[in-house]
Structure 1
Amino acid sequence: MATSKPTLVIIHGAWHTPANYSSLTTALEAAGYEVDVPRLPSMNEARPPTADLGTDTDHVRSYVEKLVNDGKAVVVIMHSYGGQVGTNALHGLGLQERAKAAKAGGVSHLIYMCAFALPEGGSMVGKVKEFGHEDLIPLAFDFADDMTVLIRDPKTLLIGADSGLGDDEVESYLHKLVRWNGAAMYQEVSQCAWRTIPVSYIYTSQDMIVPLDYQKSMVEELQKQGREVQTYQLETSHCPNLTATADVVDIVNKVVG
């Protein structure tokens, strides 16, 4: 593996586990990257829940902090809810910030993959309410009394009808999904890593979980706040890690290059 390539950390989405990213991880490793996919505590399937956005934030910060303290340059790829976690967790760990403090290593780039890139005080449900879609929440998501949640139709909402994948591959992916602490949907970001770390955003045009309008509104907000955002668009649904793996690798290569 070329030593000049950064380490990649994938912050996975809600309901997902690292196993859901095996296709992408394999493809990125074949392209010469070291890839880490830490499992978020809010996907530990505990009932009642024992972890939330705060727990996920602390876990990811500790995980990435260890890598950068070892002198590594890190590119973080955030998927869906993982964007909220990474935004909250990685402030102050930027490569340029650390270099000014005479520290080696740091996060060189944030890649939001149909992910929540929110300002301070923003939340997933806050974005839904901004578009007047809160009545759709119970239609898409099945909340239990303890606030753990499943997607009602994951095949349609996550993968889409025109994925081009075989039934076995899709079913294997869906089988790996787990119950999540849905309280994290309502919890707000308190820190914003994107303010000081370079940003790219991967739009997914056929997304039914984070619609393209939501994605574009988040990028526009970052731009209004003075952040330059390099954007890419894939004609796929909410899980390009599965449905557009090679395209995601191409984008990562462009960002790193």
Structure 2
Amino acid sequence: MSVNPVFVFVPGAWHTADSFDVVRDLMHNRGLATEAISTPSVGAFPPDKGLHADIEHTHAVLKEMVEAGCQIVLVNHSYGGMVGAGAVKGLGYTERRKAGLPGGVIMVVWMAAFVTPKGKTLMDMLGGKHAPWMVINSPDDGYCWSSDQETIFYNDMSPEAQQEAISKLKPHTYRSFNEPATHEPWREMPSMYMFFDKDGAISLAVQENFAQTLGNPVTYHVDASHSAFLSVPEKVIEGLEIALKEGRQQSGIAVN
């Protein structure tokens, strides 16, 4: 008997779960189940939550779903690639099946996301210096802000849609970018890299380097901005349906 899968979205820096509302609504119309997780470091006050708090929170959410028997396609965006990578430790479908346990993560999707070796920080991946559009108003307040979002995040959206998306952004704790990655799930779980070819935040060349770290992932290209799930959600869904199919096949799951 086949189990209905759940697509679980993990947002990038400055973004919350509602950034995926558009794509999730369309997926629900297709009969696809989804969840989205807001990470504690986004908008945290005081700024005492970082990557490791995000990983712990996301792991707890996924663990509850997996123990209920869910087969999960985890979809990580941008900074969320570091969160999701750590959060899936011990939750892989194949690993759990060998132990006689139900459910598990059947595919990890990096959607224009950081693929970070264990022990490295996001700042390490940026060469030790934050991008020019990452704003530190005060080195003592503990926050990092984004700027020039129309170009960096939303360069293929209407001005009205850009402003709506920008209005939902929050400050991100700076410590998130200085805590090290904790796990490399691509060594044990099926992986996909979904490229956003017109990304203003993470260039296509950098995305291609990230994909190489994954080894031999499933790949899919979307000719869109860093937020393709807002500008061309149908294209993103096409890629996620491929991720589901490949995840099932690589996990040895028969579909009735």
State whether TM-score is above 0.5.
yes
Aligned to 1:155: 150
Instruction: State the SS of the aligned residue for 1:112.
Output: strand
Deviates more, 1:71-80 or 1:144-153: 144-153
Q: Which of residues 79, 83, 86 is equivalent to 2:84? A: 86
Shift of 1:237: 1.4
CA contact (8 A) 1:89 1:193 kept: no
Unpaired stretches in structure 1, ≥5 consecutive residues: none
Q: Which of residues 159, 183, 194 is equivalent to 1:191? A: 183
Residue correspondence of structure 1 range 172-187 to structure 2 within 5 A: 172-187=164-179
Shift of 1:4: 4.1
Residue correspondence of structure 1 range 14-93 to structure 2 within 5 A: 14-47=13-46, 49-93=47-91
**Alpha-carbon RMSD:** 1.5
Instruction: State the SS of the aligned residue for 1:219.
Output: helix
CA contact (8 A) 1:86 1:193 kept: no
Residue correspondence of structure 1 range 131-170 to structure 2 within 5 A: 134=129, 137=130, 139-143=132-136, 144=138, 145-160=140-155, 163=156, 165-170=157-162
The ranges of structure 1 where at least 4 consecutive aligned residues each deviate by more than 6 angstroms after the TM superposition are none
Whole-angstrom CA distance in 2 between matches of 1:183 and 1:39: 17
Whole-angstrom CA distance in 2 between matches of 1:206 and 1:245: 15
Whole-angstrom CA distance in 2 between matches of 1:190 and 1:138: 23
Shift of 1:68: 0.3
The TM-score normalised by the length of structure 2 is 0.90
The percentage of counterpart residues that share the same residue type is: 25
Whole-angstrom CA distance in 1 between matches of 2:205 and 2:180: 20
CA contact (8 A) 1:92 1:193 kept: no
Unpaired stretches in structure 2, ≥5 consecutive residues: 246-256
Shift of 1:119: 1.4
Shift of 1:202: 0.6
Aligned to 1:13: 12
Instruction: State the SS of the aligned residue for 2:214.
Output: helix
| Alignment coverage as a number of residue pairs | 242
CA contact (8 A) 1:68 1:104 kept: yes
Instruction: State the SS of the aligned residue for 1:85.
Output: helix
The TM-score normalised by the length of structure 1 is 0.90
Deviates more, 1:19-28 or 1:60-69: 19-28
Q: Which of residues 107, 110, 130 is equivalent to 1:109? A: 107
Q: Which of residues 205, 209, 212 is equivalent to 1:217? A: 209
Instruction: State the SS of the aligned residue for 1:14.
Output: coil
Shift of 1:208: 2.0
CA contact (8 A) 1:127 1:214 kept: no
Instruction: State the SS of the aligned residue for 1:125.
Output: helix
Aligned to 1:237: 225
Aligned to 2:244: 256
Whole-angstrom CA distance in 2 between matches of 1:217 and 1:84: 15
Shift of 1:44: 3.2
**One-letter identity of the residue aligned with 1:180:** H
CA contact (8 A) 2:191 2:214 kept: no
Whole-angstrom CA distance in 2 between matches of 1:21 and 1:138: 24
Tell me which protein shows more helix as a share of its residues.
Answer: 1
